[in-house]
C-alpha cells in the first residue's frame, strides 16, 4: 500500500503561485526528480493563514525521503523565495480501514 506524505511550511501561498508561474522549468525539474524516485501524485495547497502544504502519494516513505534528501539543494532556494520561515515538516500517513470511504480515491 502506498504512503501519503504531507509537507507543511509557513510561507506565502501567493508567492509560491507567482514563483511557479515565473519559473516553470524549476518547478518541472523538481517534479521530474520526484517522478524518477517514484512519485505517484502531488498537489500544493495554501491557507489564508500563511501556510503551504504539499500532499503527495509515494510507493513508500523511503522513496519520498530519498527524493527529499536528493532535491534539498533545489527545494531550499524555492522555500526561501516564497518566504518560508521554518524547515518543512514531512508527515507520513497510512490509510485506515474504517468502512466509511466515500467519493473519489485520494
CATH code for the domain in which residue 9 is found: 3.30.70.100
pLDDT digits (tens, 9 = 90+) for 27-57: 999 999 999 999 999 999 999 999 999 999 9
105 falls within a domain: no
The count of domains in the chain is 1
- With 70 as the cut, is the pLDDT of residue 106 above it? no
pLDDT digits (tens, 9 = 90+) for 60-99: 999 999 999 999 999 999 999 999 988 898 999 988 899 9
32 falls within a domain: yes
Tell me phi and psi for residue 61, to 5 degrees.
-60, -35
98 falls within a domain: no
101 falls within a domain: no
Amino acid at each position: 500500500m502506498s504512503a501519503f506524505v504531507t509537507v507543511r511550511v509557513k510561507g506565502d501561498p501567493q508567492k509560491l503561485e507567482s514563483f511557479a508561474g515565473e519559473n516553470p522549468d524549476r518547478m518541472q525539474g523538481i517534479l521530474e526528480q520526484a517522478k524518477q524516485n517514484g512519485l505517484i501524485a502531488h498537489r500544493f495547497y495554501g491557507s489564508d493563514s500563511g501556510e503551504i502544504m504539499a500532499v503527495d502519494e509515494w510507493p513508500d516513505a523511503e522513496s519520498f525521503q530519498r527524493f527529499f534528501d536528493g532535491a534539498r539543494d533545489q527545494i531550499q532556494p524555492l522555500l526561501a523565495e516564497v518566504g518560508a520561515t521554518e524547515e518543512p515538516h514531512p508527515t507520513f500517513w497510512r490509510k485506515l480501514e474504517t468502512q466509511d470511504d466515500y467519493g473519489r480515491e485520494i
